[in-house]
């Protein structure tokens, strides 16, 4: 398992983060259509390849989470995992098959994909994947997340992680408490704590080596419809306190999801978390939209402007890497 620990540390050390480029075909189609681009397999590949060959990949991005379509694609006779590896980054793969409504519940979901996972993991490993991702989603309200949703998703995450380590890959554990709703940051803190604690209870029960995983949680935020917004400093301090009390010390690092925050918010909050971090956990980023959105908007105006698109992506990646080291500032952002 020391090999898995080494891979995990290489992905997230020295300010490096993870590029979440694992949008499903449906999600990627919406993003492309929103900026007026046809969602063809070639266009999806062209945009992603533009990012994967950017200069910041070698010094900012430690890992890239891919979708099944992308990990199987080639560009100029080179496989996508090879392009990523050549940049000094690790290719990874999303292996869950999506969140489906829990039987007997109209609103809560459980993530599926355990059937046939052992066999799929072998295929992905042969394609070059070194780590994987599985996302469980939880909603907040007066009655949610329910014990059933917490237990079902934690159990699935743990079974997934055990199979991934058996296949000699690093599992990213992503229990996402959604920021949709009117809840306060305190409610988010309490519910996120419950979710993470149950996740680790199940991981330990399933004999998962905690030194060979990466946790990908949400930050502690007030709901997007809440009237009780909190400052970035409060976000940072509550997030650190939550993780300090919920995550076992053996876990090497935490790579936050952006969860609906704007590009700048996600960077600033990560910076503040690292500024106030008193734990031994590496605290970095695993962003999708918060790394790609600016680059996507620029690219949509001229699909041949690779250099201009990469310049915007490089800046965003560099800002987040500075934030992961507690070295970001608004002044540096504007330069």
Which pLDDT tens digit goes with each residue over 30-87? Answer: 999 999 999 999 999 999 999 999 999 999 999 999 999 999 999 888 999 999 999 9
Asked if the 2-334 domain carries CATH number 3.30.470.20, the reply is no
The residues facing 37 across adjacent strands are none
Q: Determine if the peptide bond prior to 145 is cis (ω within 30°).
A: yes
> Taking a C-beta distance cutoff of 8 angstroms, is the pair 17, 324 a contact?
yes
Residue 133 has pLDDT above 80, yes or no: yes
Count the neighbouring beta carbons within 10 Å of the beta carbon of residue 124.
26
> Taking a C-beta distance cutoff of 8 angstroms, is the pair 287, 50 a contact?
no
> Taking a C-beta distance cutoff of 8 angstroms, is the pair 57, 88 a contact?
yes
- Maximal CA-CA distance, the chain: 53
Question: What is the pLDDT, as a whole number, of residue 77?
Answer: 85
> Taking a C-beta distance cutoff of 8 angstroms, is the pair 51, 70 a contact?
no
> Taking a C-beta distance cutoff of 8 angstroms, is the pair 154, 198 a contact?
yes
Question: What is the pLDDT, as a whole number, of residue 277?
Answer: 97
Tell me the catalytic residues: 174, 216
Phi/psi of residue 147, each to 5°? -60, -35
Query: What is the spatial distance between Cα 293 and Cα 295, in angstroms, rounded to a whole number?
Result: 5
> Taking a C-beta distance cutoff of 8 angstroms, is the pair 258, 289 a contact?
yes
Residue 104 has pLDDT above 90, yes or no: no
Alpha helices (runs of H) in the chain, residue ranges in sequence order: 2-12, 25-34, 41-52, 56-59, 68-71, 80-86, 117-127, 147-166, 185-205, 232-246, 263-276, 289-301, 306-324, 330-334
The pLDDT of 161-169, averaged and rounded, is 98
The confidence band for 1, taking pLDDT boundaries of 50, 70 and 90, is low
- Average pLDDT along the chain: 97
> Taking a C-beta distance cutoff of 8 angstroms, is the pair 134, 96 a contact?
yes
200-259 tens-digit pLDDT = 999 999 999 999 999 999 999 999 999 999 999 999 999 999 999 999 999 999 999 999
Q: State the pTM of this model.
A: 0.97
Question: What is the pLDDT, as a whole number, of residue 106?
Answer: 86
Which are the contacts of 158, defined by CB distance < 8 A and separation ≥ 6? 199, 202, 203, 205, 206, 208
Look up residue 276 and give its two tokens: 């106030």
Phi/psi of residue 285, each to 5°? -125, 150
> Taking a C-beta distance cutoff of 8 angstroms, is the pair 164, 171 a contact?
yes
Look up residue 275 and give its two tokens: 């500024």
Q: How far is CA 132 from the centre of its chain?
A: 11
Count the neighbouring beta carbons within 10 Å of the beta carbon of residue 280.
9
Q: With CA atoms as reference, report the closest residue to 295 among 115, 128, 78, 47.
A: 47
Residue 110 has pLDDT above 70, yes or no: yes
């Amino acid at each position: 398992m020391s090999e898995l620990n080494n891979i995990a540390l290489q992905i997230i050390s020295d300010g490096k983060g993870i590029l979440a480029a694992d949008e499903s075909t449906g999600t990627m189609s919406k993003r492309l259509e929103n900026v007026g681009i046809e969602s063809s397999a070639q266009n999806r590949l062209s945009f992603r390849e533009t990012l994967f060959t950017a200069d910041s990949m070698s010094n900012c991005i430690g890992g890239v989470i891919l979708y099944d379509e992308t990990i199987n694609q080639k560009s100029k006779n080179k496989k996508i995992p090879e392009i990523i590896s050549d940049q000094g980054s690790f290719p990874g793969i999303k292996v869950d098959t999506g969140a489906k409504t829990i039987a007997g519940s109209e609103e809560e979901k459980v993530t599926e994909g355990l059937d046939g996972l052992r066999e799929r993991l072998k295929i992905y490993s042969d394609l070059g994947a070194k780590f994987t991702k599985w996302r469980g989603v939880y909603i907040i309200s007066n009655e949610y997340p329910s014990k059933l949703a917490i237990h079902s998703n934690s159990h699935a995450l743990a079974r997934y992680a055990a199979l991934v380590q058996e296949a000699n890959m690093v599992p990213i554990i992503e229990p996402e408490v959604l920021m949709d709703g009117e809840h306060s940051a305190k409610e988010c803190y309490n519910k996120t704590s419950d979710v993470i604690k149950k996740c680790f209870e199940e991981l330990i029960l399933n004999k998962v080596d905690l030194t060979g995983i990466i946790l990908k949680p949400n930050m502690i935020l007030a709901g997007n419809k809440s009237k009780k917004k909190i400052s970035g400093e409060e976000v940072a301090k509550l997030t650190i306190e939550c993780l300090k009390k919920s995550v076992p010390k053996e876990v090497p690092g935490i790579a936050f999801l952006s969860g609906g925050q704007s590009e700048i918010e996600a960077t600033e909050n990560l910076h503040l978390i690292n500024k106030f971090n008193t734990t031994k956990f590496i605290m970095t980023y695993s962003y999708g939209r918060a790394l790609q959105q600016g680059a996507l908007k620029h690219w949509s105006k001229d699909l041949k402007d690779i250099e201009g698109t990469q310049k915007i992506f490089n800046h965003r990646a560099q800002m987040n890497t500075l934030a992961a080291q507690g070295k970001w500032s608004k002044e540096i952002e504007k330069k």
